Chain A
């Protein structure tokens, strides 16, 4: 048997590697995603005051700091048994919406769009954000930079720092919103909605108007019929900041809903000897290995999953696009992995509209931006939707609020097994026995993977001192390298 390794995955934050196993005839037998994990979170958290966790955990990852900050702050609320006043809750959600706009924007234009806007078979040197700017034009490229800058401005204004905000605490946020800040937040929200319209226009004009791309999304080897997970409000509409986690089956029917404190009744973690990272699965269905379908407990927690679990979006323009999404792709649920990019842009619109809605809300300038904890701390779970999936923080403390134990399930980890599976499906469809594996084929395998916006920034951080792409052909008999292919 031969083994092909793609190492590291190009354009991926953190270090990941894909191993493709081929039999002697060159046919694909299996594929796995291999990720080294950051060490020592439990030890790192132990002995720290729980109110420090939002500030500390946001530093684990340079990619989604706000997600960790908010999940940790919500866990802190739960540890102290606090219900947030509306002003505090809305400031947090508004800040989080701005972060979502900025983060999804970066993914779409830098990581997702090159495959579609420039083309999946385009030379690697052009298939990047510079190629996207070349296609959409410099003036439109400036909009992307401006949107990111304004999202950072919100973080600076509310959170004290442009990238790693420090304002969320158990009980609320440390800084109140003044009328002057509110006026600027409204301006930024208005621009975000305009920018989201532009981005949906790019999806329509460049991707959906191209029959070859629609065919690739719908009929390509990128399908995975797993359960879907995502947070919803009390009307089953998508919410990134608060609500219950809803799970629907591959047929779209509800499997269950859980409050944060109940997550361990629903999610368990499987361990494989070849990976440090765990594989979460649905406890009530069970681990059945790397297979999809209703009998396998694998679930996905992605922008696509979030649309699949929701009965709709809470804002009008996002709702209109949500309807268009399912009308175009043949109804709910959608299992076409590449449709995740479109789902992500619908979430940009939802986050932008929600940002504007909350920025205009007179409640945000109220005085109750924080309540002081008064109960004895014990244990608490906080959950938010990170851009890459449901993010769970769980802390146990002593009576002084000092962390004695901690557990995290991070966004990308939810999707660890599904990523391996979709890569295997894609590779099976693309790697033909006896035919050489071309760079274009390797890129199309990676496209399956990039749809997830995989980020192991909080699972791992280091990059190897190697070329961006190394493919190794190994003998299964003795592990020797039979052949090696590299590209920049």
Chain B
């Protein structure tokens, strides 16, 4: 199904690392019963991103962000080249998001023409546990709104993030 996809990535049992999944859940609620944007969730990155983004024209990927330059809960729109500080879109067995998109394109898989990232700066992504820290939990709503705005026509590139 061509169109836009919002993909939340994260680890559901690693404290704030789950924020991408929480945002995807909130996006589903915002979109309601007649979604114009597909919503997907993944606990993995790497080459799985090829399968997860296949078929979409526009993709918005939401992930936890390790950025000591911003306080926890800050929501940042990022471009493909800026993924090195995210937890699931970089690393992942040698295949980061830009590489996964390039691999997909090289192998003839229908990859999105536009890929944007919504990063949520985390406080703790190293302690096993369910639930987000308060600042990160408060960022779920603005991150979800930003993801939806970026995924809709005209939403790529120009939309600035609401900061929390």
Contacts and interface: CB of A to CB of B under 8 A. Distances in A.
Interface stretch (A81-89, A141-149, A315-323, A330-338): A141-149
B154 interface: no
Given A164-B43, A462-B87, A465-B84, A63 B93 contact: yes
Interface in A78-129: 106-107, 110-111, 114, 128-129
Contact of B93 (A44, A106, A463, A467): A106
A133 B95 CA distance: 13
A441 interface: no
Given A39-B128, A62-B45, A114-B94, A141 B87 contact: no
Interface residues of A, number: 45
The prevalent SS among residues of B at the interface is loop
B42 interface: yes
Interface in B70-121: 84-88, 90-95, 99, 102-103, 106-109
A63 B107 CA distance: 23
Contact of A38 (B69, B95, B99, B126): B126
A133 B107 contact: yes
A461 B11 contact: yes
Contacts of B50: 145
B51 A38 contact: no
A232 B69 CA distance: 50
A413 B6 CA distance: 35
A60 interface: yes
B46 A38 contact: no
Contacts of B45: 62
B48 interface: yes
Nearest to B109: A145
A460 interface: yes
B114 to A, nearest CB: 20
Contacts of B109: 145
Interface in A458-488: 460-468
Contacts of B42: 163
Nearest to B104: A145
A110 to B, nearest CB: 4
Contacts of B106: 130, 133, 138, 141
A463 B87 contact: yes
Contact of B94 (A14, A60, A129, A463): A129
Given A11-B94, A38-B127, A145-B107, A465 B66 contact: yes
A163 B45 CA distance: 11
B46 A110 contact: yes
Contacts of A38: 14, 126-128
Contacts of A59: 11-13, 43
Contact of B43 (A36, A138, A163, A462): A163
A152 interface: yes
Contacts of A39: 126-128
B17 A467 contact: no
Interface string A11-42: 11110000000000000000000001011110
Nearest to A488: B84
Interface in B6-58: 11-14, 17, 42-48, 50-51
B141 interface: no
Given A38-B14, A39-B126, A13 B48 contact: no
A128 B94 contact: yes
Contact of A461 (B51, B68, B103, B125): B125
Contacts of A111: 93-94
B13 A60 contact: yes
A40 B129 contact: yes
A467 B13 contact: no
A106 B103 CA distance: 13
A40 B107 contact: no
Interface in A39-91: 39-41, 43-44, 56, 59-60, 62-63, 65
A98 to B, nearest CB: 15
Given A111-B93, A129-B103, A130-B103, A462 B128 contact: no
Contacts of A110: 46-47, 93-95
Nearest to B70: A465
A463 B43 contact: no
A461 B17 CA distance: 9
B79 to A, nearest CB: 15
Contacts of B103: 129-130, 133, 141, 145
B64 to A, nearest CB: 8
A463 B107 contact: no
Contacts of A164: 43
Given A40-B127, A111-B94, A163-B42, A141 B17 contact: no
Contacts of B13: 44, 56, 59-60
Nearest to A39: B127
Nearest to A127: B94
Contacts of B11: 59-60, 62, 461
Q: A62, A164, A467, A468 — which one has the most chain B CB atoms within 10 A of its CB?
A: A62
B132 to A, nearest CB: 15
A231 B87 CA distance: 33
A14 B46 CA distance: 12
A13 B17 CA distance: 15
A462 B126 contact: yes
A65 B44 CA distance: 10
A455 B11 CA distance: 16
A464 B68 CA distance: 9
Contacts of B107: 133, 138, 141-142, 145
Contacts of B86: 463
A457 B86 CA distance: 14
15 contacts: A43-B128, A56-B13, A63-B44, A110-B47, A114-B94, A128-B94, A129-B103, A133-B103, A148-B47, A148-B48, A149-B51, A152-B51, A461-B87, A463-B84, A465-B69
Sorted from nearest, which 6 A-B pairs have the closest CB atoms? A465-B85, A11-B94, A110-B94, A44-B128, A62-B44, A111-B94
